[in-house]
Amino acid sequence: MEILLVRHGESVGNAEERLQGQTDFPLTEHGRTQARMLGLWLLGRGAVCDHVYVSPLSRARQTAEILNGILGGTEAVIEPALSEIRAGEIEGLTFDEICVRHPHYPERRIDQLGDFSEFGGESYEDVQRRARGLRRRLEASHFDPPQRVLLVGHGGFNFQLLKLFICEPVPRVCIVKMGNCSASFVRVRMRRNTVIGDLVWHVPVELMGASEREGRPL
């Protein structure tokens, strides 16, 4: 099974530097340009996918629509498990606004990343259960025979899902920069009686180039 993991383009929330969580922000025009750039880059590399799944949030759905318009192929299926991590009462706030309400926020330890339970959002354990459930469903449907699957989602949850595919055991702390419209390509296979993925490449949109159309198939 091959996984192409994509984060949405720049959203209004990104442009305003807000912690979005599951608050629904649309793409900016720059975000649409990023999605087109990613689509052209993937097209030049033969990125035909057998299945496409997308978060229900509009910034991800709009990104998937632009990609599908360029790549063609199968229509995207809404997958609620790809939603961004729910951040509770601090969703939609800027960093400064969060710090006014929660002065301890800047002091949170690195191992608290991805855990918003103290703000009424999802705990780290909640997110891991959601990610493991999605992985099990993907493997049950697309591992044998192996298929290529495009997942369009969000930086926070995509990062947790990527860890789950490529690490054994899965570390709590592992930093991977998930910029807008970054793309990660993971080949999942059986190795030494363990189903695990190889991170083949991880590319930010800035390296893709708006007109690049040449290259090898993925």
115 pLDDT higher than 60: yes
In this structure, are strands 148-153 and 51-54 parallel, antiparallel, or unpaired?
parallel
Report, in angstroms and rounded to the nearest whole number, the Rg of the chain calculated over CA atoms.
17
113 pLDDT higher than 90: no
Show me where the domains of the chain are located. Answer: 2-207
Q: Give CA–CA dist 142/1, Å, rounded.
A: 6
The CATH T-level fold of domain 2-207 is: Rossmann fold (3.40.50)
Taking the complete model, does pTM exceed 0.75, yes or no? yes
Lowest-pLDDT range of 50-59, 62-71, 101-110, 206-215: 206-215
Lowest-pLDDT range of 41-45, 91-95, 177-181, 213-217: 213-217
Residues 137, 140, 155, 27: is their CA dihedral positive or negative?
Answer: negative
Which residues face 52 on adjacent strands?
A: 150
Residues 90, 11, 75, 182: is their CA dihedral positive or negative?
Answer: negative
